[in-house]
Chains A and B, each alone.
Chain A
Amino acid sequence: MKYFLRKVGFLFLTVWIAVTLNFILPRLMPGNPAQAMMAKYAQQGPVTPSQERALALMLGLPTGSLWSQYWQYLGNLLHGNFGISYSFYPEPVMTVIARALPWTLTLIGLVTIMQFIVGTLLGVYAAWNRGKKFDSTATVLFSFTSAFPYFWIALAFIYLFSYILHWFPLSGGFSGSLSPAWNGVFISSAVYHSVLPALTIFITGIGGSLLGMRNNMINTLGEDYILLGKAAGLPEYVIATRYAARNAMLPIVTNFAMSLGYVVGGSLLMETVFAYPGMGYLLATAVNNQDYPMLQALFLFITVSVLLANFVADILYGLLDPRVRKGGVR
């Protein structure tokens, strides 16, 4: 019980830190985003004080002491009020995010799950046939690909498959001539556009889960109960799956839970390369347009989902492995 309480405490602490960081950072930096906006408007012509006030009201700029601003900010968060987006003006930040979220959740979510299943299975296979051809090839290949900046792999793919071979579209989440709807034409267009991004994420991500599972599995294969199983004459596949893989899965389960948290943030650079209409691309757009309310909201969304996933992973780990609760491991 103490273990779980500690984890709940840690969750609250980290969420509070993220929320507060989000509040403090803009105020630590010289000047403020609103002044930058004003300066932009001022370039187009002189800004009178009354216009400036109007602009401040329009952008929902905070007023009052730092302390009251903080409470105001916390109150807004609780009501899900993240302000008005600068770059999608006059849409509220939440509306824009709600539009981007499904794209990211389906694409990245599905690919993450697939990549984990395939990677883990291949990892089991590699560890069981350690030192053989598949194992040595896969280990070297994936350690090498993990060193690649993954957005660059995306660029290379676009060049090869879209520009040279014309197999897939260059960018976007659906054909420009369509508007989002639940019909066959639109869905097939969306699926067609998602093949290349999905492939890129799959290929860059699978190495991690393969190597992770392989190394865990090799560690468990050294345990006494595996030796006992072999001595008792159990069939190989029983030892490999029910004895070794099952125990080696533990850290993988938590890794999986954690990477589901990262799904919300999307594959940031990947989506930017493909101009895929998800959360990652939205974040890049916000950065380029200095859309600070959007930037803050996205940071909170991404961070809180990562923290929640991390919490779930910790709890799962505690439930699955009693040693953790007693403070033996980690």
Chain B
Amino acid sequence: MESLRRQAKLSSTPTESTSHGAVSEHEVLKQPGFLALLWENRKARMGIIVLTFFILMALFGPLLAPYSLSDTNFALSHPPSAAHWLGTTQSGQDVLTQLIYGSRVSMFVGFIAGALVIFIALLVGFLAGYFGGLVDEVLSLAMNVMLVLPGLPLMILIAAYMPSHGIWEIIMVMSITGWAFGGRSLRAQMMTVVQQDYVVAAKFAGERPLRVIFREIMPNMLSYIIANFFGAVIGAVLAEAGLEFLGLGNPSITSWGTMIYWAQSSDAMLNGQWAWILAPGLCIALLAASLTMINFGIDAVANPRLQEE
């Protein structure tokens, strides 16, 4: 329901933005909006539904959670039961409550870090692709260096030296280390777009480079950028879980990653508390998979060659 409404609202925006344009025949021929096309795609639709589910879960967490997050008065280390669907933890917390609240931290970190990563990638990739020459040489070198340095060990090294391990430290570590991949693909995309007629025309019309990049080119690459953004979020969600699992997060914050950390360090498996250890991982997997599915959809809609297959 909610996803339909959200989707309908979003898909109306492209038409609005073109309606004040000079070309009106495009209006008539206008295909259903990008998001409507995306909704038609089976994989993307599945992804959107799952993603919406998690977003709602994070937004309405306090209303949905059966107990309070700070409630630690339950029987310790209980396997799943009617009162505690996913069991209780070593210190007597309800696992389902933790899972619901954990979605807030995990998704917040994932999306913020993804946004920062894509912001840096956009800036570096676009500038390198647009200007070429020396700018490109320097930025490409930086990208290539970041690309070959192994990501996880680098993240671990930086995080290990951080004086504290909060949410923002994790976000920062991931943004510093994660931008090169998106940067390279955005640069490649920019290099082909820059030669197209409308860009050349805009340049000849004397528009400033930043305006050409962000007002003329960026709207046309939006689907590509969104796909890259989702890719970055996937990377961030998985990296966050990995770092927290290794104990490099803040264990007193409840997120899916720290849940696995606690479950593993209190031998949840040996006590038969399978739900405690499997549920957060499954949520991470489903969230990442939903974004992958949406990306498949975006690919199929934006790239007609794939659509034929």
A295 to B148, CA, bound (A): 19
The A137-170 residues at the B interface (CB cut-off 8 A) are: 143-144, 146-149, 151-152, 155-156, 158-159, 163, 170
- Is the C-beta of B112 less than 8 angstroms from some C-beta in chain A? no
Whether B148 lies near A29 (C-beta < 8 A) is: no
* Interface hits, B115-166 → A, CB 8 Å: 141, 144-145, 148-150, 152-154, 156-158, 160-163
- Distance (whole angstroms) from the CB of A249 to the closest CB of chain B: 22
Min CB distance A77 to B, Å, is: 16
Do B260 and A143 touch (CB < 8 A)? Answer: no
Assembly CA distance A307 to B146 (angstroms): 11
- Chain B interface, DSSP helix/strand/loop, else mixed: helix
B247 touches A288 (CB 8 A): yes
For A29, give its contact among B162, B241, B289 (CB under 8 Å).
Answer: B162
Query: Which stretch, B17-25, B65-73, B273-281, touches the partner chain A?
Result: B273-281
The answer to whether the Cβ of B296 comes within 8 Å of any Cβ in the partner chain is: yes
Chain A residues touching B, range? 35 or more
What is the distance, in angstroms, from B188's C-beta to the closest C-beta of chain A?
A: 10
Chain A 1-44, CB within 8 Å of chain B: the 1/0 string? 00000000010011001100110011011110100000000000
Tell me whether B163 and A287 are in contact (CB under 8 A).
no
Interface footprint category on B? 35 or more
Nearest opposing residue in chain B for A155, CB measure: B277
Question: B250 contacts the other chain (Cβ, under 8 Å)?
Answer: no
Residue A303 interfacial (CB < 8 Å): yes
A156 and B281 contact, CB distance less than 8 A:
yes
Known: A10-B144, A163-B269. A147 touches B160 (CB 8 A): no
Set of chain B residues within 8 Å of A155, measured between Cβ atoms = 260, 264, 269, 277-278, 281
How far, in Å, is B170 (CB) from chain A's closest CB? 14
In chain B, what residue has the closest Cβ to A29?
B161
In the complex the two chains form, is A143's CB within 8 Å of B247's CB? no
Contacts A155-B277, A283-B156 given; does A272 touch B246 at CB 8 Å = yes
With A and B bound together, what is the CA distance between A311 and B153 in angstroms?
A: 19
Say whether B234 faces chain A, with CB atoms less than 8 Å apart.
yes
Q: Is the CB of A148 within 8 A of B285?
A: yes
Q: Could you mark each residue 273-303 of chain B with 1 if its beta carbon is under 8 Å from any beta carbon of chain A, else 0? A: 0100110011011001101100010000000
Which chain B positions have C-beta within 8 A of A273?
264
List A contacts of B269 (CB < 8 A).
155, 158-159, 163, 170
Interface residue? B172 (CB, 8 A): no
Closest partner residue, chain B, to A25 (CB atom): B161
Complexed CA–CA distance, A29 and B157 (Å):
12
Within 8 A of B (CB), among A169-213: 170
Known: A155-B264, A163-B270. A302 touches B162 (CB 8 A): no
In the bound complex, do residue B284 and residue A152 qualify as a contact, i.e. CB atoms below 8 Å apart? yes
Query: In the complex the two chains form, is B160's CB within 8 Å of A290's CB?
Result: yes
Decide yes or no whether A262 CB sits under 8 A from chain B: yes
A130-B309, A147-B234 given as contacts; is B158 within 8 A of A25 (CB)? yes
Interface presence of A93 (CB below 8 A): no
* A265 contacts partner chain B, Cβ-Cβ < 8 Å: yes
Contact indicator A265/B150 (Cβ below 8 Å): yes
B150 close to A302 (CB less than 8 A): yes
Whether the pair B153, A146 counts as a contact (CB closer than 8 A) is no
Distance, CA A129 to CA B297, complexed state (A): 22
Judged by a CB distance under 8 angstroms, whether B199 is at the interface is: no
Q: Are B309 and A149 in contact (CB under 8 A)?
A: no
A306 CA to B285 CA, complexed, in Å: 27
Cα–Cα distance between A147 and B281 once the two chains are bound (Å):
11
- How far apart sit A269 and B156, CA to CA, in the bound complex (Å)? 12
User: A97 on the interface (CB 8 Å rule)?
Assistant: no
Instruction: Please state if A18 and B245 are interface contacts (CB–CB under 8 Å).
Output: no
A18-B149, A262-B150 in contact; A152/B285 too (CB < 8 A)? Answer: yes
Name the one of A31, A149, A170 contacting B242, with C-beta atoms under 8 angstroms.
Answer: A149
B245 touching A269, Cβ below 8 Å: yes
| Alpha-carbon gap, A61 to B234, bound state (A) | 40
The answer to whether B270 and A151 touch across the interface, beta carbons within 8 angstroms, is no
Expressed in whole angstroms, the Cα–Cα distance for A155 and B234 within the complex equals 20
Enumerate B234-265 residues with CB–CB distance to A below 8 Å.
234, 238, 241-242, 245-248, 260, 264
B291: chain A residues at CB < 8 Å are 147
Contact A151:B148 (CB < 8 A) given known A144-B289, A159-B269: no
Most B CB within 10 A of own CB, among A130, A287, A295? A287
Chain A residues in 8 Å Cβ range of B289: 144, 147-148
How long is the Cα–Cα vector from A302 to B309 in the complex, in angstroms? 41
Residues of B within 8 A of A13 (CB): 141, 145
B283 to chain A, nearest CB (A): 10
Do residues A151 and B158 form an inter-chain contact, with CB atoms below 8 A?
Answer: no
Residue with the highest number of chain A CB atoms closer than 10 Å, among B158, B160, B269, B288: B160
Is B242 within 8 A of A310, CB to CB? no
Known: A163-B269, A284-B246. A149 touches B238 (CB 8 A): yes
- Is A303 a contact partner of B246 (Cβ separation < 8 A)? no
Whether A306 contacts B150 by the Cβ 8 Å rule is yes
Complex Cα gap A56–B157 (Å) = 22
B153 nearest in chain A by CB position: A302
Known: A17-B149, A273-B264, A303-B149. 14 other contacts (CB 8 A): A25-B157, A144-B289, A147-B234, A147-B288, A149-B242, A163-B269, A268-B153, A288-B246, A292-B160, A295-B160, A299-B154, A302-B150, A303-B154, A306-B148
**CB pairs A–B below 8 angstroms (17 shown):** A22-B157, A25-B161, A26-B161, A29-B163, A31-B163, A147-B291, A149-B241, A151-B242, A155-B277, A163-B269, A268-B153, A292-B160, A295-B156, A299-B154, A299-B156, A306-B150, A310-B148
Nearest first, the 8 closest Cβ-Cβ pairs linking A and B are: A152-B281, A147-B288, A147-B289, A148-B285, A29-B161, A306-B150, A299-B157, A302-B153
